[in-house]
Structure 1
Amino acid sequence: MGKFSSEAKQLLEYIGGKENIAAVSHCATRMRFVLNDTKKADVKKIEGIKTVKGTFTQAGQFQVIIGNEVSTFYNDFVAVAGVDGVSKDEAKKAGRQNMNLLQRLISHLGEIFTPLIPAIVVGGLILGFRNVIGDIKLLEDGTKTLTEVSQFWAGVHHFLWLIGEAIFFFLPVGITWSISKKMGTTQILGIILGITLVSPQLLNAYAVAGAEEIPVWDFGFAQVKMIGYQAQVIPAILAGFVLANLEIWVRKISPSYISMIVVPFFALVPTVLLAHVVLGPIGWKIGAAISNVVYAGLTSGLGWLFAAVFGFTYAPLVITGLHHMTNAIDLQLMSELGGTNLWPMIALSNIAQGSAVLAMIYINRKDEEEKQVSIPAAISCYLGVTEPAMFGINLKYVYPFLAAMIGSAIAAVISVGSNVMANSIGVGGLPGILSIKPQFIAIFALAMIVAIVVPFVLTIVFSKRKIAAKK
Structure 2
Amino acid sequence: MADFKQDAKQLLEDIGGPENISAVTHCATRMRFVLNDPAKADNKKIEKIPSVKGTFTQAGQYQVIIGNDVATFYNEFEKVSGKTGVSKDDVKAASKKNQTLLQRTMSVFAEIFSPLIPAIVVGGLILGFRNILEAVPFDSLGGETIVSVYPIWNTINSFLWLPGEAIFHFLPVGITWSIAKKMGTTQILGIVLGITLVSPQLLNAYSVASTSAADIPFWDFGLFQIDMIGYQAQVIPAMLAGFLLAYFELGLRKIIPEAVSMIFVPLFALVPAIFIAHAVLGPIGWQIGSWISDLVYAGLTSSFRWLFGLLFGFFYSPLVITGLHHMSNAIDLQLVADFDGTNLWPMIALSNIAQGSAVLAMLILHWKDKEEQSVSLPATISCYLGVTEPAMFGINLKYFYPFLAAMIGSGLAGMMSSIFNVTAYSIGVGGLPGLLSIKNQYWGQFIICMVIAIVVPIALTFVFSKSKKLNKMGVEDLPTPKLGS
TM-score between both structures, scaled by the size of structure 2: 0.96
User: Are positions 1:363 and 2:365 aligned together?
Assistant: yes
User: Deviations 1:415-460 (Å, cap 9, x if unpaired)?
Assistant: 1100110000001110110100000011101100110000000100
Q: CA deviation at 1:99?
A: 0.5
* Aligned partner of residue 424 in structure 1, secondary structure: coil
User: Are positions 1:146 and 2:146 aligned together?
Assistant: yes
Provide the identity percentage. Answer: 68
Structure 1 CA distance for aligned equivalents of residues 54 and 264 of structure 2: 51
Whether the 8 Å CA contact 1:339–1:421 is kept in 2: the answer is yes
- Tell me the amino acid that sits aligned with residue 446 of structure 1: I
Query: Relative to 1, partners in 2 of residues 1:362 and 1:142: Cα closer, same or farther, differing over 3 Å?
Result: farther
Q: What value does the CA root-mean-square deviation take over the aligned residues?
A: 1.1
Whether the 8 Å CA contact 1:340–1:423 is kept in 2: the answer is yes
Whether the 8 Å CA contact 2:464–2:471 is kept in 1: the answer is no
- Tell me the amino acid that sits aligned with residue 465 of structure 1: S
Structure 1 CA distance for aligned equivalents of residues 467 and 21 of structure 2: 41
Q: CA deviation at 1:470?
A: 3.3
Q: CA deviation at 1:378?
A: 0.5
Structure 1 CA distance for aligned equivalents of residues 28 and 344 of structure 2: 27
User: Deviations 1:338-382 (Å, cap 9, x if unpaired)?
Assistant: 010011000000000000011011111111111111101101100
Equivalent residue for 1:352?
Answer: 354
Q: After superposition, where does 1:258-297 map in structure 2 within 5 Å?
A: 258-297=260-299
Q: After superposition, where does 1:129-278 map in structure 2 within 5 Å?
A: 129-139=129-139, 143-212=143-212, 213-278=215-280
- Tell me the amino acid that sits aligned with residue 233 of structure 1: V
Structure 2 CA distance for aligned equivalents of residues 420 and 469 of structure 1: 35
Equivalent residue for 1:392?
Answer: 394
Q: After superposition, where does 1:42-81 map in structure 2 within 5 Å?
A: 42-81=42-81
Whether the 8 Å CA contact 2:359–2:380 is kept in 1: the answer is yes
Structure 2 CA distance for aligned equivalents of residues 278 and 261 of structure 1: 26
Structure 2 CA distance for aligned equivalents of residues 112 and 142 of structure 1: 47
Q: CA deviation at 1:94?
A: 1.0
Structure 2 CA distance for aligned equivalents of residues 150 and 418 of structure 1: 33
The more displaced of 141-150 and 103-112 is: 141-150
Structure 1 CA distance for aligned equivalents of residues 327 and 453 of structure 2: 23
Whether the 8 Å CA contact 2:135–2:145 is kept in 1: the answer is yes
Query: Relative to 1, partners in 2 of residues 1:92 and 1:383: Cα closer, same or farther, differing over 3 Å?
Result: same
- Tell me the amino acid that sits aligned with residue 150 of structure 1: Y
Q: CA deviation at 1:465?
A: 2.8
Structure 1 CA distance for aligned equivalents of residues 366 and 142 of structure 2: 49
User: Are positions 1:325 and 2:327 aligned together?
Assistant: yes
User: Deviations 1:272-298 (Å, cap 9, x if unpaired)?
Assistant: 000001100000000000000000001
Structure 1 CA distance for aligned equivalents of residues 459 and 131 of structure 2: 35
Structure 1 CA distance for aligned equivalents of residues 347 and 137 of structure 2: 27
Equivalent residue for 2:409?
Answer: 407
Whether the 8 Å CA contact 1:399–1:467 is kept in 2: the answer is no
Q: CA deviation at 1:142?
A: 5.8
Equivalent residue for 2:480?
Answer: none
* Aligned partner of residue 105 in structure 2, secondary structure: helix
User: Deviations 1:99-139 (Å, cap 9, x if unpaired)?
Assistant: 11111010011000000001001100000001111111114
Structure 2 CA distance for aligned equivalents of residues 267 and 430 of structure 1: 45
Whether the 8 Å CA contact 2:352–2:383 is kept in 1: the answer is yes
- Tell me the amino acid that sits aligned with residue 237 of structure 1: M
* Aligned partner of residue 466 in structure 2, secondary structure: helix
- Tell me the amino acid that sits aligned with residue 235 of structure 1: P
Whether the 8 Å CA contact 2:30–2:70 is kept in 1: the answer is yes
User: Deviations 1:299-350 (Å, cap 9, x if unpaired)?
Assistant: 1111111110100001111111111000000000000000100110000000
Q: CA deviation at 1:11?
A: 0.9
Structure 2 CA distance for aligned equivalents of residues 393 and 340 of structure 1: 30
Structure 1 CA distance for aligned equivalents of residues 470 and 99 of structure 2: 30
Structure 2 CA distance for aligned equivalents of residues 279 and 399 of structure 1: 47
Q: CA deviation at 1:466?
A: 3.3
- Tell me the amino acid that sits aligned with residue 208 of structure 2: V
Q: CA deviation at 1:96?
A: 1.0
Q: CA deviation at 1:259?
A: 0.5
- Tell me the amino acid that sits aligned with residue 256 of structure 2: S
* Equivalent residue in structure 1 for 2:445, among 419, 443, 446: 443
* Aligned partner of residue 465 in structure 1, secondary structure: coil
- Tell me the amino acid that sits aligned with residue 202 of structure 1: L
User: Deviations 1:55-79 (Å, cap 9, x if unpaired)?
Assistant: 0000110000011111111111111
Structure 1 CA distance for aligned equivalents of residues 327 and 247 of structure 2: 22
Q: CA deviation at 1:141?
A: 6.7
Query: Relative to 1, partners in 2 of residues 1:341 and 1:62: Cα closer, same or farther, differing over 3 Å?
Result: same
User: Are positions 1:105 and 2:105 aligned together?
Assistant: yes
- Tell me the amino acid that sits aligned with residue 257 of structure 1: A
Structure 2 CA distance for aligned equivalents of residues 465 and 39 of structure 1: 30
Q: CA deviation at 1:140?
A: 5.0
* Aligned partner of residue 405 in structure 1, secondary structure: helix
* Equivalent residue in structure 2 for 1:419, among 399, 407, 421: 421
Structure 2 CA distance for aligned equivalents of residues 454 and 74 of structure 1: 38
Structure 1 CA distance for aligned equivalents of residues 373 and 210 of structure 2: 59
User: Deviations 1:6-45 (Å, cap 9, x if unpaired)?
Assistant: 1111111111111111100000100000011111111111
> Gaps (5+ residues) in structure 1?
none
Equivalent residue for 1:310?
Answer: 312
Structure 2 CA distance for aligned equivalents of residues 140 and 388 of structure 1: 44
Structure 2 CA distance for aligned equivalents of residues 33 and 112 of structure 1: 22
Q: For this pair of structures, how many residues does the alignment match? A: 470
Structure 2 CA distance for aligned equivalents of residues 469 and 36 of structure 1: 33
- Tell me the amino acid that sits aligned with residue 407 of structure 1: G
Whether the 8 Å CA contact 1:291–1:329 is kept in 2: the answer is yes
